[in-house]
Structure 1
């Protein structure tokens, strides 16, 4: 699992080596989690020595944080503007399909790691705020709009995770089904508001 097509031990330019390490570390951390993964595990999977790994990252925490930052950045690039539109589901599915390990780290593993919990909570708060911005336009009761804003991102992430676990069947149908779930959440909150 040397990542980025580089043979084990090959000399790579610094930026390419860093990307290779991040790619491999994403897979390794997604398999075993932060606590159970050692730097020697990442170095071994990347086909490099710990000394080379330490040239790029001073600690396991720094490496994990870089992996999470990379996954968040990729997700932001895939989704684009922070407006909730129907196309966001398609964008999220495509991003999860391109980087399932990164998706799982962001939404499952990092939330369980106390050292990274504050970052995960900030990221979740951004998703809720984005959903609230859309949903408050259609849901008159602020309490039900808040409920829907919390539930819609949670349901979306759970549905995409289940889709990944099921082997990524037909992404177009998956997007339709996930949109139906989100539409149902909005409809339930609107009905409760009246």
Structure 2
């Protein structure tokens, strides 16, 4: 029975290191952060850190993976869906791990070592949004435009919510959904704009 207990302690230590690393990376950036900074902030030795992570790159990727796992756990329908209810999941993930969320959606794309990976991640979000929006927007060009813009609006709104101290958490989701709705429901809400059927006629 001792072995499962050991694994639990190891998992808890790994999560602690990831939590502290997220804070340090968010404050200092990947290039400027030294592993000794993480070691000191976490109150562990380099030996313990290397038991869990092979390098600074491995540690940074672990922080990003942890943030992605939170998204998968909180976004309704899973990460393969983008709906109005996804906003609640984004807010929950951001509140649970603000630094990890900022790294995933703001900082990592600016790190040369992770740029391409983050660009693919963002492209995947656009593809997911398009799959959802194509069912409700009959204009294909608008659907693609909205698919690019809607996730950006949602994520930037959540980041702004974090940066301003998480105001009015009970109303934040509704306000962000309203902003995203201005993009996704534009074709139906824009006065005088011809629909696909009007143009076809």
SS across alignment from 1:137: coil
Displacement after TM superposition at 1:144 (Å)? 1.4
Larger Rg: 2
Aligned counterpart in structure 1 of residue 167 of structure 2, from 144, 154, 169:
169
Q: In the TM superposition, what whole-angstrom CA distance separates every residue of 1:31-56 from its partner, at most 9, and x where no partner exists? A: 11111111000000011122221222
CA distance in 1, matches of 2:55, 2:101: 22
> What's the counterpart of residue 118 of structure 1?
116
**Does the Cα contact within 8 Å between 2:25 and 2:33 map onto a contact in 1?**
yes
Name the stretch that deviates more: 150-159 or 72-81: 72-81
CA distance in 1, matches of 2:10, 2:135: 48
- Decide whether aligned partners of structure 1 residues 193 and 152 sit closer, same or farther in structure 2, where only a CA change above 3 A counts: farther
> What's the counterpart of residue 9 of structure 1?
none
Q: Give the total of aligned pairs.
A: 183
SS across alignment from 2:167: coil
Name the stretch that deviates more: 40-49 or 171-180: 171-180
Displacement after TM superposition at 1:189 (Å)? 4.2
- Decide whether aligned partners of structure 1 residues 193 and 151 sit closer, same or farther in structure 2, where only a CA change above 3 A counts: farther
- Decide whether aligned partners of structure 1 residues 80 and 186 sit closer, same or farther in structure 2, where only a CA change above 3 A counts: closer
CA distance in 2, matches of 1:48, 1:129: 41
- Decide whether aligned partners of structure 1 residues 96 and 193 sit closer, same or farther in structure 2, where only a CA change above 3 A counts: farther
CA distance in 1, matches of 2:194, 2:113: 39
Name the stretch that deviates more: 123-132 or 181-190: 181-190
> What's the counterpart of residue 57 of structure 1?
53
Report the TM-score when normalising by structure 2: 0.85
**Does the Cα contact within 8 Å between 1:89 and 1:178 map onto a contact in 2?**
yes
CA distance in 2, matches of 1:163, 1:131: 22
> What's the counterpart of residue 152 of structure 2?
154
CA distance in 1, matches of 2:104, 2:20: 16
> What's the counterpart of residue 3 of structure 2?
none
CA distance in 1, matches of 2:90, 2:84: 11
Structure 1 residue ranges without an equivalent (≥5): 1-11
> What's the counterpart of residue 5 of structure 1?
none
Displacement after TM superposition at 1:93 (Å)? 0.9
Structure 2 residue ranges without an equivalent (≥5): 1-7, 196-201
Stretches (4+) displaced over 4 A: 189-193
> What's the counterpart of residue 103 of structure 2?
105
CA RMSD of aligned residues (A): 1.7
